Structure 1
Amino acid sequence: MTDITRRLYDGHPVWPGDTPCSFELTWKMREGASVNVGKLTTTTHLGTHLDAPWHYVEDGGKLESVPLSVLIGPCQVVDARGQRALDAPFLRSLELRAERVLFYTGQPDEWRDFPQEFTHVLPAAVDYLAERGVKLFGTDAPSVDPLTSKDLPGHKAFARHGIYIVEGLALGTVRPGGYELIALPLRLEGADASPVRAILR
């Protein structure tokens, strides 16, 4: 079993301008409290996370609309290092065999600073993934669109095809091939996203 979830910690980098990640103890046994209790303040898009369609489409489904069946099952890990953008020709060169496909683009498994450049996904590539029956797309990048994108063509293409997105995976130690994926979010009602604990076995 391999944990492909980014380690979270106080001050973990977040998307520029998003809510900083902060963890602190509000009750402390060393100061006389009966237990230690922590407080977590963060964005819903922290580290390894699942986007709900509502994040990028106003009438899209919120987090509770994402079927658990999509988040558990056979998956394929693809080595996509060296690709500035995932395009249809590159995807056609692969033998895609699973409904869940995770792309290792070369992002380190731990971010000390938020990445400014990373591999994004072109809409034509999403069209091809849909033709192949893909239901879940995963990436080690923090987004499927470039950092400066405002119209989010990648996200919108995934929305058109009903393909769910997991971003920020930690895939640096994973060999390409077939696995079983489990990537479960918090049960947040009405949310746009949630951190997930993602594992392969």
Structure 2
Amino acid sequence: MRIIDLSTTIDAGVWEPNPVVHEILTPAEGARHMAEGMSKNWGVAFDPAELPDGELLSLDTLTLTTHTGTHVDAPSHYGTRAAYGTPRDIGEMPLDWFVRPGMVLDLTDAPVGTVDAGRLRREFDRAGREPRPLDIVMLHTGASRLAGTPKYFTDFTGLDGSATNLLLDLGVRVIGTDAFSLDAPFAYMIEKFHETGDRGVLWPAHFAGREREYCQIERLANLEALPAPTGFTVSCLPVKIARAGAGWARAVALVGEAAEPDAA
């Protein structure tokens, strides 16, 4: 079995709309921190010089949103109310949604904006089948090549309402993309709204989650490394965070003997 990493790196050194702050306590600083805490809180004296090289443990503190890096959006991210009841938070979602047969669709030639259901059907034909219920469908838009730059947040392709609803009609409950969002870029949607007055062009993929329960994986990477449109398993288990609308995930594809067979 081969494991293909499909996750982007959380890196405070690259551009983000919500900057990441990464504070590092070195092993030497960690030793002093421990000694000071033991003395202050429990009255226990200890000299860090007794430790190998005067070092104990490093400690990383990060300030970031749950939408930084590869992450899974929960239904509660889409709004406080839904047609099916109270939207669930990320820690409440069923784990078996996130380890499933995968399908990747090639949208790398699509322009900035959205693709519709007809385009997805052409990709199903290329893959040799439609997605099956609970398959994890991922969109290879090529946007991940821009990760870490401002253009990553403005130049990509998303799904329109017809495309999103087609996948949900087929029983898909986790839809992924290597772009910043499953919807079109903000400026694109708002311009279309001003042109048409149609509210349906505003975040149709996200707002579909107010009608039917599903999750998105955003900011995937390395989808071009997948050897075929199907025949692999995706694992994208989200971090369990109480009352959160999203959770970070280390998304991978499992290819080989332990992966999902492509037979019906």
SS of residue matched to 1:172: helix
Q: 1:66 corresponds to which residue? A: 93
Q: Which protein is richer in helix relative to its size?
A: 2
| Aligned CA distance change for structure 1 residues 130 and 32 (closer, same or farther; 3 Å) | closer
Deviations 1:5-29 (A, max 9, x none): 1122223443x3x3x2121213541
1:5 aligned residue: 7
Structure 1 unaligned runs (5+)?
none
Residue in structure 2 matched with residue 77 of structure 1 by the alignment: 104
Change (3 A) 1:38 1:123: same
Match for 2:10: what amino acid? Answer: L
What is the aligned-residue identity percentage?
28
Q: Could you say what secondary structure the match of 2:137 adopts?
A: strand
**What's the counterpart of residue 84 of structure 2?**
none
Q: Which residue of 1 aligns with 2:143?
A: 107
Greater per-residue strand proportion? 1
Q: Give the structure 2 partner of residue 96 of structure 1.
A: 130
Q: What SS does the aligned partner of 1:157 have?
A: helix
What is the identity, as a one-letter code, of the residue corresponding to 1:57? G
For the structure 1 residues 83 and 159, does the alpha-carbon distance in structure 2 shift closer, same or farther, using more than 3 Å as the test?
farther
- Counterpart for residue 174 of structure 1: 226
Among 141, 151, 155, the alignment partner of 2:206 is 155
Q: TM-score of the superposition, structure 1-length normalised? A: 0.89
Conserved 8 A contact 2:103-2:137? yes
TM-aligned CA deviation for residue 195 of structure 1 = 1.2
Say which SS state the counterpart of residue 128 (structure 1) adopts: helix
Q: State the alpha-carbon separation in 1 of the partners of residues 12 and 63 from structure 2.
A: 9
**Based on CA coordinates, which of the two structures has the bigger radius of gyration?**
2
1:126 correspondence with 2:153: no
SS in 1 for 2:164: helix
Name the aligned partner's letter for residue 13 of structure 2. G
**Residue 49 (structure 1) shift:** 0.6
What's the CA shift for 1:53?
Answer: 1.4
Q: Secondary structure at the match of 1:78?
A: strand
Number of equivalences: 198
Q: Secondary structure at the match of 2:163?
A: helix
Q: Give the conservation status (yes or no) of the 8 Å contact 2:174–2:216.
A: yes
Partner of residue 215, structure 2: 164
Unpaired segments ≥5 residues, structure 2: 33-55, 82-86, 191-201, 255-264
Q: Is 2:48 aligned against 1:52?
A: no
Whole-angstrom distance in 2 between the partners of 1:128 and 1:50: 20
Is 2:215 the partner of 1:186?
Answer: no
Q: CA deviation digits over 1:124-149, x for unaligned, max 9? A: 11121122221110110110123324
**Amino acid across the alignment from 2:120:** L
- Residue in structure 1 matched with residue 61 of structure 2 by the alignment: 39
Is 1:196 aligned with 2:249? Answer: yes
Structure 2 letter corresponding to 1:96? E
Q: Which residue of 1 aligns with 2:194?
A: none
Q: Contact conserved, 2:30 with 2:58, CA < 8 A, in 1?
A: no
How far off is 1:193 after superposition?
0.8
